[in-house]
Amino acid sequence: ATKSGAIEIGFLDRFSGTLVITGDVSSIESSLEAIMQYLKASLNFSVTNISRS
């Protein structure tokens, strides 16, 4: 995620699996999209659409 956008890891908890990323909205959206594509293509995960509210 940090390679595909101008974001930073704000908090990472390996025990609970919590990951907080910080940055501007467009950078976060593009990074999340890259993560989803990686999980789908490389690891054969089922992914869902990303929505905003």
pLDDT digits (tens, 9 = 90+) for 14-32: 999 898 989 988 888 888 8
Host domain of residue 22: 8-43
Return the pLDDT at 41.
95
Number of domains within the chain: 1
In a domain, 38, yes or no: yes
Return the pLDDT at 1.
61
Residue 41: helix, strand or coil by DSSP? helix
In a domain, 53, yes or no: no
Q: Is the model more confident about 5 or about 17?
A: 17
Q: Which residue has the tokens 């293509």?
A: 41
Nearest-5° Cα angle at 14, 34 to 11: 65
Beta carbons within 10 angstroms of residue 11's beta carbon: 9
Q: Residue 3's beta-bridge partner residues? A: none
pTM: 0.70
In a domain, 51, yes or no: no
In a domain, 26, yes or no: yes
Confidence of residue 36 (pLDDT cuts 50, 70, 90): very high
In a domain, 37, yes or no: yes
In a domain, 27, yes or no: yes
In a domain, 2, yes or no: no
